[in-house]
Structure 1
């Protein structure tokens, strides 16, 4: 007879449908990618750039507009790659903005990787609730802050200097709003064999009782013969809990505020890069930027 092991969300061995989020995200990405199939092969430039275009006659006798910055062959690109890389990396504005974004990406990647586990252990919450707190509060506020940062930059018609000031103000406010997060929480629980002296978390039980009629339900398990519980003699599975559960809402509120303020710097920083890099180097500069994100920002912090 096969015994069915039943777990609850409070059990430490609970995993849940971890694959469901990947299916939903991939489905949404597929739907948003469909409109790209209806774009034309080539698009006309804006009217303000018409004077920079050269009019040529095509094979059919019709006049066509050609861009002076034409696509080069792969061989020519490989030959000019060192010069383009050196010219891009020698730009002080580009280099400083990318390094600042790398540091911010490292911070956000570390928070996204370990914040759910921190909330789970620090405030005695389930894994699903911890993830919902981050996904339901921090991410929407970060998206809203990114959009509002772009709107603010467009309405105020900020220059490169103004965008730099906006980014600096956003990061300073983010640092101020995140400082209280360091002081919200409880001290680490004392566990026998790890943090002496001995505590009820290490009960020292020698026997276990399960539910009747071969039902190995975790919530019906009861540990007996416990020598370190202080006269009770029995213990239940699970964490010992903490006295910080009431601080969860202030912690999440400050975390959401920090995400909202920090995201104000995203759009101005991108615009600073696009405005300070020459037109023929923009695609290369953006590629190097995302490469540094992955190599220096996200990979080490998530390891």
Structure 2
């Protein structure tokens, strides 16, 4: 009886090692995707906090991929020889340090000061239209004040922190998946990988909810009286508590790392844990064989690296697939990273609302698309040629649906002197300085300060002074301005702080856009698994690992890093009014030409996606005459061999597929 109890205890203890690793790595996937989705959602807040252009924000975002590339080769080739759980634990700690470093500027800088003409001193009327008024926020000529205002390189902390976060994330996915694959039963491996993928889906959901919450909290909450603020979360000067979420992400990453330091380098092989003394010998022999196998594979990869690379570069389907992936990732990376900004500028939503809507409308369809696509591939035993056609036609349907978004538009915000005249007539943009008019010519107003008010005539003005307002009642955001000479109405000419809303019609357009985005996300994610099966089966089995790595490397170098930078620069070109610092330098953009913004945000990805169908059609043409090396022939002998080796390679393909989906598609679509 006692002997039986010892065997049961031994079984539980050994089983718990692998199961504990599974739980820990799932939590690690949650934490890493939590940090990534949160950071991507806070780009607008970071842009406003540091008063930097969108192109620079794109470079900060791309620094994560740069950090990831620093260690990807080292981890891929040498990670299996080291203590993988400890490597993963160290990676989680490094991610936590990166998140903490990103939040550090908030504690090193002074309080955030948004440009405003409204004085908190109720006895002061300098922000109103007075003939003897003086301009506020005039450029200073004192160099010492200039250096203090620019806060020159504080954003570098965010860039370096994001790069460190990328370095820390590198070992988690490849080492975690390979650890499960090496020590789990072959029939259990896909199930375990499914648990891990679930964590990669839950993480972005929590990340978007956290970013929505933090974006609605003022950046200096606790140190300023928010009742005195003259801006709301919908204002383009508003900065949410971006640093708070990063501290939470840092804590979650560090806590996630703790279990890995207590897990063994080589746990008992699953299915061999219930035996006693002889089991230990068998286990040691199995582990030794496993280590020898890994060593031989590493030696073979190192030895065959050049021939494999030559073979891959001479594989037309593989090279064309990489070209398709790079072009499409340029389109999707650009769209996803700047989608919150697009919803803000086009539909007048706050960052908090935009991020929340993106999570609600886009995340569930992506998850369902992956599941349905995988079930279809499994049930109907799709071949590589069939998978290529399925992926092509689904992508084409999604591309055609995409063009409907060009009709779901809102007009530019009506701002007197910028997008419309003071009489309310639409005017040609970029015509020069038309800020002043007869109604405010004698008010001595600042012409560069962005402190908008909404007139009772439905027209916005850059400031209360430029609206010609002479008196006010109330404080903070509830302030109401009266006797505004530029507001032409039959009744009392009054105004309130903030831009005028875009109206009910624009809200309906937003709903249509989000529904289309939901359908598009589902269709494209449905095509993801068939598309990646083409990648896995168009190369020889021994070249799969290198092929997948080269594919991931290409999409990072030629899409993940440059796309946010050049896309951000194009968005900057549509800016109508830049923030003005006390030094006189330009800061973040306050209002964009939403029409040109829309042409760039929707048009450039449409052009990129359209061009990607050229190499995709070439793949279909080649597949008609070319037999892929990764798929068995239709002959009887090859068919039997395919059946025998199919089961052995099934888990390996599931492993590679999950790697790509987690590393590329989830990050792009979410």
TM-score, with length taken from structure 2 = 0.38
- Tell me which residue corresponds to 2:555: 293
Which residue of 157, 168, 178 corresponds with 2:392? 168
* Closer, same or farther: CA 130–33 of 1 in aligned 2, 3 Å: farther
- Tell me which residue corresponds to 1:41: 266
**Equivalent residues of 2:470, 2:484 under 8 A apart:** no
Which residue of 195, 218, 237 corresponds with 1:13? 237
Which residue of 500, 508, 516 corresponds with 1:254? 516
- Tell me which residue corresponds to 1:51: none
**Equivalent residues of 2:468, 2:486 under 8 A apart:** no
1:95-151 deviations in Å (ceiling 9; x for gaps): 222222223322221221222122222222222111111112112211221222111
Query: 1:226 aligned to 2:490?
Result: no
Shift of 1:188: 2.2
1:195-254 deviations in Å (ceiling 9; x for gaps): 343343236235686776xx6x2x123445633221454322222221311222221111
**Equivalent residues of 1:205, 1:234 under 8 A apart:** no
How far apart, in 2, do the equivalents of 1:265 and 1:32 lie?
A: 35
**Equivalent residues of 2:366, 2:522 under 8 A apart:** yes
1:253-302 deviations in Å (ceiling 9; x for gaps): 11111011011122222222222222332222111111122222223332
SS at match of 2:353: helix
Query: 1:263 aligned to 2:263?
Result: no
How far apart, in 2, do the equivalents of 1:97 and 1:139 lie?
A: 26
Structure 1 residues not aligned, in runs of 5+? 45-58
Deviates more, 1:225-234 or 1:285-294: 225-234
How far apart, in 1, do the equivalents of 2:351 and 2:488 lie?
A: 30
* Closer, same or farther: CA 238–28 of 1 in aligned 2, 3 Å: same
SS at match of 1:189: coil
How do residues 44-123 of structure 1 correspond to structure 2 at under 5 angstroms? 64=289, 67=293, 70-73=296-299, 77=302, 80-123=304-347
How far apart, in 2, do the equivalents of 1:102 and 1:29 lie?
A: 34
Shift of 1:37: 7.6
CA RMSD of aligned residues (A): 3.8
- Tell me which residue corresponds to 1:54: none
Structure 2 residues not aligned, in runs of 5+? 1-120, 122-222, 270-283, 425-458, 566-670
1:34-81 deviations in Å (ceiling 9; x for gaps): 68985863898xxxxxxxxxxxxxx98x9947649923459x82x754
How do residues 126-205 of structure 1 correspond to structure 2 at under 5 angstroms? 126-198=350-422, 199=424, 200-202=459-461, 204-205=466-467
How far apart, in 1, do the equivalents of 2:262 and 2:385 lie?
A: 39
Shift of 1:173: 1.6
- Tell me which residue corresponds to 1:237: 497
* Closer, same or farther: CA 9–176 of 1 in aligned 2, 3 Å: same
Deviates more, 1:122-131 or 1:229-238: 229-238
Query: How many residues were matched structurally?
Result: 285
**Equivalent residues of 1:88, 1:94 under 8 A apart:** yes
**Equivalent residues of 2:390, 2:527 under 8 A apart:** yes
How far apart, in 1, do the equivalents of 2:547 and 2:554 lie?
A: 11
More helix, by proportion? 2
TM-score, with length taken from structure 1 = 0.77
1:155-182 deviations in Å (ceiling 9; x for gaps): 1100110110110121012112222111
**Equivalent residues of 2:233, 2:350 under 8 A apart:** yes
